[in-house]
């Protein structure tokens, strides 16, 4: 018992001394030696993740990082396992609203999830539906009709109608959700209205002397660009007009020689106008950057939407498979050209990629027309939507799915 008492006394003396020594070390700014070793694995893991991200981003303009992102979102490469299904209709128009597929025709507007469910279905009556997506919204306009719907992922956010006998010409959303509407108006050739992302009217212009067929809000939401058609020397000439939204004044104009604009877009400070006879690129100050006439070639297809490029598909004949696919940067320089001898069903560009849907295959090219990925056996697909992250939505008459390169 004496020995046990002696041991207990010694332990009681040693433990306070150890605690006092540790407190002195911490007070002097010294940490126990093993604390740094415990945090070392976490530090090494963090450094490894940062190194991988830097390396993947720097290689091939970030293509490897995009592949990693696709893998994290969708899993293994190949065709996605989830399908969007809908009723076959030759008048169907398709667009992506977030991760969901928007399907529009003359009678119905549906938003479909990739798990096969219908998020909502709206009954409409339209003759020529036009679909524009920007931000978290979509605008569905009946061109030549009197109906306009603003939609989001939950359903109809706003419905607009014109008086009997008047018509909408176009409705376009920019990436911030600002809406530009061109319409017919009594007593004028045309009218432009601009609404901000909250639906408030911030600009209105009535044209006395020229027809306004199309308009869009620039990405910085400071200007609206309109397509004007006016008679000149007994023929109609086209002009891109730039109006300042805050002061409601014309700040620039850019004439288009011998061309009728069929589609327009704005990327940064550059305006792209696809015409029946040429491709035109201009800046917001009205300076022409590119005037590319088709000459003796025929326009078969085109693709806007690339990060800093666009694409044209021109053919030697109105019908046939002998075509030339060409990409241009937004400074007006030709990037690359590729001879195509297969039937091309659709083109779509987004991010750094261009999707080309052939009769039985889908090929995704980089902006310099180098093959990035290929999917053979697309069967009855007729449309494709390229996504900025590198995936592509393959669309058939009754179903759609994602291709994951």
Q: Is residue 48 pLDDT above 60, yes or no?
A: no
Whole-number pLDDT of residue 320: 85
Average of per-residue pLDDT across 16-24 = 48
Least confident interval from 87-96, 204-213, 229-238: 229-238
Percent of the chain with pLDDT over 70: 80
Do the domain assignments include residue 66? yes
The yes-or-no verdict on residue 59 having pLDDT over 60 is: no
What average pLDDT score do residues 350-361 get? 97
Q: What's 337's domain CATH number?
A: 2.40.10.480
If one counts every other C-beta atom within 10 angstroms of the C-beta of residue 396, the result is 17
Q: Which residues 6+ apart lie within 8 Å of 22 measured at CB?
A: 32
pLDDT confidence band for 29 (50 / 70 / 90): very low
Rounded Cα–Cα distance for residues 266 and 260 (Å): 17
Average pLDDT estimate for 78-102:
88
Examine residue 78 and state whether it is found in any structural domain, yes or no: yes
User: 315 or 55, which is more confident?
Assistant: 315
Which is more confidently placed, 80 or 206? 206
Cα 385–Cα 391–Cα 392 angle in degrees, nearest 5: 25
Residue 368 lies in a domain: yes
Return the minimum-mean-pLDDT range out of 23-27, 268-272, 361-365. 23-27
Q: What percent of the chain has pLDDT over 90?
A: 72
Q: Does residue 390 surpass a pLDDT of 70?
A: yes
Beta bridge partners of 172: 180
Residue 367 has pLDDT above 50, yes or no: yes
Kindly indicate the confidence band of residue 257, based on its pLDDT and cuts at 50, 70 and 90: confident
Q: Indicate if the pLDDT at residue 195 is higher than 60.
A: yes
Confidence grade of residue 39 (pLDDT, cut at 50, 70, 90):
low
Report the mean per-residue pLDDT for the chain.
86
pLDDT of residue 116: 82
pLDDT tier at 114, thresholds 50, 70, 90: confident
Specify the higher pLDDT residue, 35 or 223. Answer: 223
More confident residue, 46 or 391: 391
Comparing 203 with 71, the larger pLDDT belongs to 203
> Is residue 67 assigned to a domain?
yes
pLDDT at 4: 47
In which residue are the tokens 């999830």 written? 113
**pLDDT of residue 292 exceeding 70:** yes
Query: What's the average model confidence in pLDDT over 77-100?
Result: 85
User: Does 225 fall in a domain?
Assistant: no
Domains contained in the chain, number: 1
Compute φ and ψ for 231, nearest 5 degrees: -70, 135
Exposure of 15 by Cβ count < 10 A (0-12 exposed, 13-18 middle, 19+ buried)?
exposed
Q: Which pTM does this prediction carry?
A: 0.81
Residue 226 falls inside a structural domain? no
Q: Is residue 72 part of a domain?
A: yes
Predicted local confidence at residue 258, as pLDDT: 85
Average pLDDT, integer, range 16-33: 48
Which residues span the domain enclosing 78? 59-88+295-405
Query: Edge-to-edge, what's the strand order for the sheet holding 361-366?
Result: 344-350, 353-358, 361-366, 371-376
Please state the rounded mean pLDDT for residues 346-368.
Answer: 97
pLDDT above 70 (res 382) = yes
Taking residues 151-160, report their average pLDDT.
Answer: 96
pLDDT reading at 49 higher than 70: no
Residue 67 pLDDT greater than 90, yes or no: no
What digits encode the pLDDT tens for the residues 120-141? 999 999 999 999 999 999 999 9
Residue 197: pLDDT band (50, 70, 90) is very high
Residue 400 included in any domain:
yes
Tell me what the mean pLDDT of segment 192-201 comes to. 96
The owner of tokens 């990629």 is 353
* HEC per residue, 58-120: HHHHHHHHHHHHHHHHHCCCEECCCCEECCCCCCCEEEEECCEEEEECCCEEEEECCCCCEEE
Give pLDDT, residue 81. 56
Q: What pLDDT sits at residue 132?
A: 98
For residue 367, what are its two tokens? 């902006």
Q: Strand locations in 113-246, DSSP E?
A: 118-123, 129-134, 137-142, 147-152, 155-161, 168-173, 179-183, 190-195, 201-207, 211-217, 223-232, 235-244
3-state secondary structure (DSSP) of residue 395 = strand
Lowest mean pLDDT among 1-15, 37-51, 84-98, 249-263: 1-15
In this prediction, residues 109-116 reach a mean pLDDT of: 92
**Cα separation values, 143 from 19, 106, 129, 140, 405, Å:** 82, 11, 6, 9, 36
Chain centre to alpha carbon of residue 3: 83
């Amino acid at each position: 018992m004496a020995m046990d008492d002696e041991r207990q006394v010694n332990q009681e003396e040693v433990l306070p001394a150890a605690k006092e020594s540790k407190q002195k070390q911490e007070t002097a700014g010294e940490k126990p030696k093993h604390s740094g070793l415990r945090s070392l694995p976490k530090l090494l893991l963090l450094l490894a993740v940062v190194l991988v991200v830097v390396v993947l981003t720097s290689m091939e303009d970030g293509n490897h990082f995009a592949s990693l992102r696709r893998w994290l979102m969708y899993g293994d490469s190949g065709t996605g396992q989830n399908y969007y299904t809908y009723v076959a209709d030759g008048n169907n128009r398709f667009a992506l609203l977030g991760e969901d597929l928007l399907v529009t025709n003359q009678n119905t507007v549906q938003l479909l999830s990739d798990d096969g469910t219908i998020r909502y279905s709206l009954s409409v009556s339209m003759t020529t539906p036009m679909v524009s997506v920007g931000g978290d919204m979509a605008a569905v306009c009946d061109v030549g009709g009197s109906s306009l719907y603003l939609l989001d992922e939950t359903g109809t956010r706003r419905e607009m109608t014109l008086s009997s006998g008047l018509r909408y010409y176009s409705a376009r959303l920019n990436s911030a959700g600002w809406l530009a509407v061109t319409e017919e108006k009594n007593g004028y050739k045309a009218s432009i209205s601009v609404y901000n992302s909250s639906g408030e009217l911030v600009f209105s212009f009535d044209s006395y002397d020229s027809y306004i067929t199309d308009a869009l809000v620039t990405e910085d939401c400071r200007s609206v660009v309109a397509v004007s058609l006016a008679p000149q020397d007994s023929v109609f000439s086209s002009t891109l007009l730039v109006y300042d939204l805050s002061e409601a004044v014309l700040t620039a104009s850019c004439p288009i020689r011998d061309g009728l604009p069929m589609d327009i877009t704005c990327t940064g400070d550059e305006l792209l106008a696809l015409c029946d006879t040429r491709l035109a690129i201009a800046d917001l100050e009205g300076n022409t950057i590119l005037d590319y006439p088709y000459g003796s070639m025929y326009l078969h297809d085109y693709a806007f939407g690339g990060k800093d490029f666009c694409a044209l598909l021109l053919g030697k004949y109105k019908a046939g498979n002998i075509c030339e696919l060409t990409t241009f940067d937004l400074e007006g320089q030709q990037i690359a050209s590729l001879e195509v001898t297969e039937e091309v069903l659709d083109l779509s560009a987004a991010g750094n990629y261009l999707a080309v849907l052939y009769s039985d295959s889908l090929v995704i090219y980089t902006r310099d027309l180098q093959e990035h990925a290929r999917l053979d056996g697309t069967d009855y697909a007729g449309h494709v939507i390229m996504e900025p992250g590198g995936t592509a939505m393959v669309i058939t008459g009754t179903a759609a799915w994602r291709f994951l390169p």
